[in-house]
């Protein structure tokens, strides 16, 4: 073993390439929503710079359409999505103790399109 080499830092899994896009996480306001089975189709307004983008999430157990419209949510606006996907952004959520999805959102109103840093 080479004493000048750190096996954790120099391991292949720790190498970050510049070609991998960093996630661009922004806040937007849900302008409309439509329930489709257990999924919700969301249209999220990210302001004048990014406009309105679509996302689909499994939210029907926790939220109804009336609870979603007007709510601000955080989303990745530059996801690497499959070309056949209806999603243009990846809205962010976390599971609660029963596994149902809870949206990630700011605790106060912020300007749409604001970037997480």
Q: For position 84, which CATH number holds?
A: 2.40.50.140
Does residue 29 sit within a domain?
yes
Q: How many domains are there within the chain?
A: 1
Does residue 6 sit within a domain?
no
Whose structure tokens read 């806040």?
27
Buried/exposed code over 12-44 (b: 16+ C-beta within 10 A; e: otherwise): eeeeeeeeeeeeebbbbbbeebeeeeeebebbb
Does residue 60 sit within a domain?
yes
Can you tell me the distance from the alpha carbon of 42 to that of 91, in angstroms, rounded to the nearest whole number? 9
Does residue 80 sit within a domain?
yes
Tell me the pLDDT tens digit for each residue of 86-113. 789 999 999 999 988 999 999 999 999 9
pTM above 0.95, yes or no: no
Alpha helices in 17-114 (DSSP H): 47-50, 65-68
Contact predicate 21/81, CB 8 Å: no
Does residue 93 sit within a domain?
yes
Does residue 59 sit within a domain?
yes
Query: How confident is the model over 37-65, as a mean pLDDT?
Result: 92
Q: Is the pLDDT of residue 43 over 70?
A: yes
Does residue 30 sit within a domain?
yes
User: 40 is in which domain, residue-wise?
Assistant: 21-103
Does residue 16 sit within a domain?
no
**Of residues 81 and 112, more confidently modeled:** 112
């Amino acid at each position: 073993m080479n004493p000048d080499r750190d096996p954790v830092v120099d391991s292949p899994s720790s190498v970050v390439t510049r070609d991998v896009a960093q996630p661009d996480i922004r806040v937007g306001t849900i302008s409309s929503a439509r329930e489709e089975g257990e999924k919700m189709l969301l249209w999220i307004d990210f302001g004048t710079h990014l406009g309105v983008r679509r996302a689909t999430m499994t939210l029907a157990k926790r939220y109804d359409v009336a609870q979603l419209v007007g709510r601000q949510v955080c989303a990745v606006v530059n996801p690497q999505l499959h070309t056949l996907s209806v999603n243009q952004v990846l809205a962010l959520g976390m599971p609660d103790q029963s596994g149902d999805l809870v949206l990630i959102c700011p605790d106060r109103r912020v300007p749409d399109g604001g970037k997480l840093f």
